[in-house]
Amino acid sequence: MITFENDYSCGAHPAVLERLLQTNLVPQPGYGFDAFSDSARSKLRAACACPTAEIHFLTGGTQTNAVVLASILRPWEGVIAAETGHIHVHEAGAPEALGCKVLALPEHQGKLDAGELRTLAATLLRDENVEHMVYPGVVYLSHPTEWGTLYTRAELEAISAVCREFGMRLYLDGARLAYGLMADGTDVDLPLLARLCDAFYVGGTKCGTLCGEAVVFPKGAPDHFLNFIKKHGAMMAKGRLCGVQFDALFTDGLYFEIGRQGVQTAARLKTILARHGIPCYMDTPTNQQFAILDNDRYEALRQRVPVGFWSHPDEMHTVVRFATAWYTTDAYLETLDQILAAL
């Protein structure tokens, strides 16, 4: 059985699981105060070249976005995101459940444009009725975006400059960060994120762990961040579960290896799709490939291999996501090739 439905279809990368086995019987304090979490934090700080960073582990992406936003937004502020941003579309209203309004901007292949961001912030802040409006407080980026695309260093610096100009904080959702960091031609790395962002998270769930995301606050965490975690139901008694896994991910470059493998597999996948005449909806350099199929072919395909439904661009077609991950073997690709040939 194979799948391209998403990048969380299997368990943990074997090296991560092995580390859970090795450490299983070592007693440790709860709630993230364990030695494994500390070790993982040290390795993450080193990888970010940011000795001052405070790092906390949470279990999943939606939770992480909601808790971080609740902690860095002030009560009169909202968060700016692309209209395709995960927090705006696919989190069932989790930010709003904590009282955070999402201010949506147009997307450009999933990305915010620094100029449009500047215009929105400037317009809001010079509006004579701003006391009746939601202030622009935080800018949310995802990298890779929901379309698998990437910001360039220059784009991030431009957005960061707008944030500084208007007193906004910059938050980056790195659910699939491993694939972004290892994409061909990217000039974005962890130290850059630590330099530009007020908060970002290094995704685990979609990059090799059973669960867990590592939130990095380069300049220190908000006051009483542990209480935010607890109050929003995100505190794990066995905080070691995330700590051990991130310790494994950041040992011997495993996180980057996972990223590289996912990206390379996606490149080969793209070749297979092309060979079968299936057009890509967008050209993306990371582990998600979006293809356009007519509806009949989509129905036939999904009977034989799980893929991700994305959207209906028109009545006749379906955009389908193929995702790769550390468990996407050559056999997966060969089987897909045969399925597509027989479709």
Q: Applying CB under 8 A, does 291 fall inside the site for a copy of itself?
A: no
Please pick, from the candidates 40, 44, 48, 70, the single residue that binds a copy of itself as defined by CB under 8 A. 70
Q: Which stretch binds a copy of itself (CB under 8 A): 18-26, 166-174, 180-188, 190-198?
A: 18-26
Phi, psi (deg, nearest 5) at residue 196 = -95, -30
Nearest to 15 by CA among 242, 180, 214, 255: 255
Tell me how far apart the alpha carbons of residues 200 and 169 are, in angstroms, rounded to a whole number: 11
In Å, what is the CA distance from 236 to each residue of 4, 53, 119, 206, 243? 30, 21, 41, 19, 11
Q: Are 61 and 203 in contact (CB under 8 A)?
A: yes
Pairing of strands 317-323, 288-294: antiparallel
Q: Which stretch binds a copy of itself (CB under 8 A): 38-46, 127-135, 261-269, 334-342?
A: 127-135
Residue (48 or 199) nearer to a copy of itself, CB: 199
As given in the structure block, the two tokens for residue 205 are: 């769930």
Letters for 163-202 (x = contact with a copy of itself by CB under 8 A, - = none) are ----------------------------------------
SS3 282: coil
Site for a copy of itself in 321-340 (CB under 8 A): 327
Q: Which stretch binds a copy of itself (CB under 8 A): 64-72, 105-113, 144-152, 273-281?
A: 64-72
Count of residues in contact with a copy of itself, rule CB under 8 A: 87
Tell me how far apart the alpha carbons of residues 18 and 22 are, in angstroms, rounded to a whole number: 6
Per the DSSP assignment, residues forming a β-bridge with 3 are none
As given in the structure block, the two tokens for residue 150 are: 């990437």
Q: Applying CB under 8 A, does 317 fall inside the site for a copy of itself?
A: no
Q: Applying CB under 8 A, does 268 fall inside the site for a copy of itself?
A: no
Residue (184 or 331) nearer to a copy of itself, CB: 331
Min dist CB 30 to a copy of itself, Å, is 5
Q: Applying CB under 8 A, does 304 fall inside the site for a copy of itself?
A: no
Spatial CB neighbours of 19, under 8 Å, sequence gap ≥ 6: 244, 245, 247, 248, 251
Letters for 96-115 (x = contact with a copy of itself by CB under 8 A, - = none) are xxxxxxx-x-----------
Q: Applying CB under 8 A, does 74 fall inside the site for a copy of itself?
A: yes
Rg (CA), the chain: 20
Residue (209 or 289) nearer to a copy of itself, CB: 209
Q: Applying CB under 8 A, does 67 fall inside the site for a copy of itself?
A: yes
SS3 320: strand
Letters for 209-228 (x = contact with a copy of itself by CB under 8 A, - = none) are -xx-----------xx-xxx
Tell me how far apart the alpha carbons of residues 44 and 196 are, in angstroms, rounded to a whole number: 16
Residue (49 or 133) nearer to a copy of itself, CB: 133
Letters for 232-251 (x = contact with a copy of itself by CB under 8 A, - = none) are xxxxxxx-xx--x-------
Q: Are 326 and 14 in contact (CB under 8 A)?
A: no
